[in-house]
Amino acid sequence: MKYKRILLKLSGESLMGEKKYGIDPAILQQYAEEIKKVKDMGVEIAIVIGGGNIFRGVQAEKSGIDRVQGDYMGMLATLINAMALQSALEQIGLYTRLMSGIKIESVCEPFIRRRAIRHLEKGRIVIFGAGIGNPYFTTDSTAALRAIEIESDVVLKGTRVDGVYTADPEKDATATKYQNITFTEVYEKNLNVMDMTAFTLCQENNLPIIVFDMNKSENLAKLAKGEQIGTLITV
Ligand code: UDP
């Protein structure tokens, strides 16, 4: 295996599938099965999941809700997704732990770095819910921070697009994909990979990011084996 320990970032929106809101159970099951393939290869897996399919803090301001309050609502939304994913993983026989950035003791454990690492060593899939627990951050930043804390080898950012393109491929037919790109080139070309806080954290800590299409079967397993899929971003 190319990687011993990975951190997989899934957006909340990806869980919607064809729906306009919420969680599509078929997608959840599909993701759980893709994750199991990698687990069965002996890779340690941590997951950060977003909440954009339910609520985002920026949305709150538009509807007259205080921004900070909205961010906490967004963090709770990520926990709903995390609980759904945890259930889907357990239904196919995987051992999991859900750790939250906000204390919510009757539902899951709080995030404790050493405990998270111990869970991974014991073969449990660890899901990090509720972001980092602070407003004005995103789950991309959570993914970067937690990956560094647990000494993950890489951040795998699963999206609907199969990598980083010269322009948005959903809008521009002439857009071409990068196989490899450096952090500096991403800044210079003003490409959109992750928010800047997350991106800078990865760069400063020499943590590679791979952007790939999570909806294509076997992609995650191929990445774990070291195949070139999506776009690899390195220092
Ligand atoms: N959020 C936050 N702090 C965090 C992580 C998330 O305040 O550490 C809030 C923020 O409002 C964000 C929402 O939770 O909009 C949902 O997360 P995100 O937008 O990153 O989800 P995704 O786009 O990945 O679905």
Q: What is the DSSP string of 59-97?
A: HHHHTT--HHHHHHHHHHHHHHHHHHHHHHHHHTT--EE
Q: List pocket residues of ligand 1, CB cut-off 6 Å.
A: 11-13, 50-52, 56-57, 70-71, 74-75, 77-78, 131-132, 134-135, 137-140, 142
Q: pLDDT class for 170, splitting at 50, 70, 90?
A: confident
> Domain tally for the chain?
1
- Has residue 6 got a pLDDT over 90? yes
Question: Looking at residue 196, what is its pLDDT?
Answer: 95
Domain containing 148 equals: 5-234
**pLDDT level of residue 122 (50, 70, 90 thresholds):** very high
pLDDT in tens, 10-35: 999 999 998 999 999 999 999 999 99
Q: In this structure, are residues 58 and 77 in contact, taking their beta carbons and an 8 Å threshold?
A: no
Of 116, 235, 200, 214, which Cα lies nearest the Cα of 156? Answer: 214
Distance from residue 85's CA to the centre of ligand 1 (Å): 17
pLDDT for res 182: 98
Higher pLDDT, 102 or 161: 102
What is residue 153's three-state secondary structure?
coil
Q: Note the pLDDT of residue 82.
A: 98
Predicted pLDDT at 235: 96
Instruction: Specify the CATH number for the domain of residue 212.
Output: 3.40.1160.10
Tell me the pLDDT band of 97, cut-offs 50, 70 and 90: very high
Compute the distance from residue 14 Cα to the ligand 1 centre, in Å: 14
Distances (CA, A) of 234 to 182, 190, 199, 204: 5, 16, 11, 11
Looking from the CA of residue 75, the nearest atom of ligand 1 is 14
CA nearest neighbour of 37 among 93, 84, 75:
93
Distance from C-alpha of 139 to C-alpha of 123, rounded to nearest angstrom: 24
Angle at 162 between CA 158 and CA 77, to 5 degrees: 30
Distance 50 CA to ligand 1 centre (A): 6
**Atom of ligand 1 lying closest to residue 11 CA:** 24
Q: Please report the pLDDT score of residue 160 as a whole number.
A: 86
Element (H, E) at 186: helix 183-188
CA 196 to centroid of ligand 1, rounded, Å: 14
Q: Rounded CA gap, 227 and 219, in Å?
A: 9
Between the CA of residue 22 and those of 30, 77, 136, what are the distances in Å?
Answer: 16, 10, 23
Confidence of residue 1 (pLDDT cuts 50, 70, 90): confident
Cα–ligand 1 centroid distance for 136 (angstroms) = 8
Which burial class, exposed, middle or buried, applies to 179 when counting CB atoms under 10 A from its CB (0-12, 13-18, 19+)? exposed
Which residue minimizes the CA distance to atom 3 of ligand 1?
A: 137
pTM: 0.97
Residues in the chain: 235
Residues 58-95: tens digit of each pLDDT: 888 889 999 999 999 999 999 999 999 999 999 999 99
Q: What is the mean pLDDT of the chain?
A: 96
